[in-house]
Amino acid sequence: MPFFDFHIHPSLKSLFSDNNAATHAQKFSPWAPLDKSKIPLLLKCCTDFQYILQSQANLSQLAANDCNLVCIALYIPEKDMLTADLVQQSTTGPLNVYLQGAKINSIINGNPYTILRTDDWPTLTNAAQFGITDKKVKPLKTRADFNENDPSTIHAVFSVEGCHTLSSLLQNFDLPTILSNIDDLRSKVSLVSINMTHMEQSPLCNHAFGMQFLSNDGFKPTGYRLTDGGIAVLKHCYQNKIMIDLKHLSLGSRQHLYELRSSPDFAGINQPIVCTHAGLTGLSYSDIPDYIFAQKKFDNKGHTVLWQGKPVKYGDSPRPCFNASSINLYDEDIMQILQSGGMLGFSLDKRILGFQDYEDETNGRDDFPLETEYISNLEQNIFFGSGTVTIGKAFTDDSDRVMKWDEIAAGGVVNPAVGFYHLKHFMAHVVHVIAVARKNKYDVAAALNQLCVGSDFDGLINPVWCCETADSMAAFQSQFEDSFVAFAQSSAVALPGGFDVKAFSKRLFYQNGREFILQRLDVLNT
Q: pLDDT digits over 199-232, tens only?
A: 999 999 999 999 887 888 999 999 999 999 999 9
Q: How far is CA 145 from CA 2, 73, 93, 160, 523, in A?
A: 17, 20, 44, 21, 15
Give the global pTM. 0.96
The three-state secondary structure class of 157 is: strand
Q: What does residue 141 show for φ and ψ, rounded to 5 degrees?
A: -110, -35
Note the pLDDT of residue 415. 62
Rg (CA), the chain: 22
Q: pLDDT digits over 114-171, tens only?
A: 999 998 888 999 999 999 999 999 999 999 999 999 989 999 999 999 999 999 999 9
Nearest Cα neighbor of 472 from 125, 141, 64 is: 64
Note the pLDDT of residue 22. 73
The angle subtended at Cα 517 by Cα 515 and Cα 523, nearest 5°, is 105
Query: Containing H/E element for 180?
Result: helix 175-188
The b/e string for 439-478 (b: 16+ C-beta within 10 A; e otherwise) is eeebebeebbbbbbbbbbbbbbbbbbbbbbbbbbbeebbe
As a whole number of angstroms, the distance between CA 227 and CA 514 comes to 34
- The beta strands (E) that lie in 279-389 are given as 292-298, 303-308, 343-346, 371-376
25 - beta bridge partners? 20
50 vs 364, more confident:
50
Comparing 75-79, 118-122, 474-478, the range with the smallest average pLDDT is 118-122
Q: Label residue 281 by pLDDT band (50, 70, 90).
A: very high
As a whole number of angstroms, the distance between CA 437 and CA 59 comes to 36
Q: pLDDT digits over 399-428, tens only?
A: 789 999 888 887 666 665 557 889 999 999
Query: Containing H/E element for 80?
Result: helix 79-82
As a whole number of angstroms, the distance between CA 68 and CA 61 comes to 11
Burial class (CB in 10 A: 0-12, 13-18, 19+), 139: middle
Instruction: Check pLDDT > 70 for residue 314.
Output: yes
Contacts 24+ apart (CB under 8 A), 254-263: 254/333, 254/336, 255/225, 255/382, 256/205, 256/225, 256/226, 257/226, 258/336, 260/226, 260/231, 260/234, 261/340
Task: Share the mean pLDDT of the chain.
Answer: 93
Q: Is the N-terminal amide bond of 311 cis, ω within 30° of 0?
A: no
- Cβ(436)–Cβ(346) under 8 Å? no
The three-state secondary structure class of 496 is: coil
N- to C-terminal Cα separation, the chain: 31
Domain ranges of the chain: 4-275+283-314+356-419
Please report, rounded to a whole number, the percentage of residues in the chain having pLDDT higher than 70: 96
Q: What does residue 513 show for φ and ψ, rounded to 5 degrees?
A: -65, -40
- Average pLDDT value for residue range 31-43: 83
Strands 69-74 and 4-8: parallel
- Cβ(231)–Cβ(265) under 8 Å? no
